[in-house]
Amino acid sequence: MVSMTLSIYTLATVFLWNSAYALVNPSLAAARYTTGPLFQKAPQHDVNGQQTMADLSPEQQERVKAFIGHQQNVPKIGFAADVRSLVQYNHGFAVMSTNSKSNPGFPGGSVVGFAVDDDGCPLFVFSGMSSHTQDILKDPRCSLTIADKNFKGASDGRVNLMGNCTLLKDSDEIDKAREFYLKKHPGAFWANFGDFNWFRMDIQAIRFVGGFARAGSVKPTEYKDASPDPIMAFGGAIADHMNDDHMSATIAMVKHFIPGLEGENYVQEALINRVDSMGMDIKITRDESDNDTLPGQPQQFKVRLPFPEPITERGGVKTAIVEMTKASAPAPAQTENEKA
């Protein structure tokens, strides 16, 4: 069970959040429309002049409730698998923070290359002259902050791993670490330099932010036991292909499968940000002049579109998207003869 030291999901049921949060996770919109004495003293933010369900028409209430209900219950791969996948499929560079040897009392930050072993533990090869090498030889406590390889802002995932980074001395361990590292960084010729040393980070704590409304901690044992999501290994290529050549299909799918987005022109753009075994994260750009379909939504916000069932291989993703696209296509218009 994921240990949630700070669950924004939980807080969202108690506080009325600023409309900016809905930009990246529309499920937080639920808090805006919550009524009752529990919320009367909570911090509130006016969202397009509407704060409660009572401000909306019956038709708007129905759409908002359906949209929120769908997004709150949509399947996700889980925190531990999310973190494991983010670390596994990262581009292989992150920020290491160490306790500075040359500036005692201050943290030192360095951008470092890394790979991970089968347990998800980061592996490094450092020059003996590097400041972070000197830092961890004196005090092995450190942290590694890893952002999603497509990180563009606060709505994207990042993880902070904390633990001890120790020098590898066993030749078999070093050979295995080199194998992992060169697979991730095939051009790392320095991995064979004599004055470079191998280190492994043993993880003791994990903090994860998967975007607004998705944050908390994951136990190291849960992280170790989790497997990287098989679809995220190539999900970026699928997203790029859909965004470049088939955005109209993505728009049709979100309008068909996500309640509240059915309006003819409400969804102007739909960009797939991520594809995993359970579904797709999609950034919606809505009609700027339409403030009535889903009141209070900013012009851009993220939605989650689930697959009909979990998928484990590439062909399954293609099949699912083709079937969902067909299901989303409008019925063919009848000819005059057919009508007669």
Q: What is the pLDDT of residue 213?
A: 67
Q: What is the pLDDT of residue 212?
A: 67
Say how many domains are in the chain: 2
How many angstroms from the chain centroid is the CA of residue 221? Answer: 21
Q: Does one domain contain both 123 and 95?
A: yes
For residue 25, the enclosing domain spans 18-77+233-328
Query: Please, which pLDDT band fits residue 191 given cuts at 50, 70 and 90?
Result: confident
Q: Which residue has the tokens 């409400």?
A: 266
CB-based contact 216:7 (threshold 8 Å): yes
Residue of 153, 327, 151, 318 whose CA lies nearest to 254: 327
Rounded Cα gap, residues 328 and 279, in angstroms: 16
225, 241, 266: which is the final residue of a domain?
A: 225
Residue of 229, 279, 202, 274 whose CA lies nearest to 80: 229
Q: Does one domain contain both 219 and 310?
A: no
174, 196, 225: which is the final residue of a domain?
A: 225
Rounded Cα gap, residues 65 and 166, in angstroms: 52
The tokens describing 247, both together, are 């955005």
Q: Does one domain contain both 138 and 182?
A: yes
187, 207, 225: which is the final residue of a domain?
A: 225
CB-based contact 326:277 (threshold 8 Å): no
The CATH number linked to 36 is 3.20.180.10
Q: Does one domain contain both 247 and 169?
A: no
157-172 mean pLDDT: 96
> What global pTM score does this model have?
0.78
Q: Does one domain contain both 118 and 214?
A: yes
Q: Does one domain contain both 127 and 216?
A: yes
Rounded Cα gap, residues 338 and 331, in angstroms: 14
Q: Does one domain contain both 213 and 283?
A: no
Q: Does one domain contain both 212 and 91?
A: yes
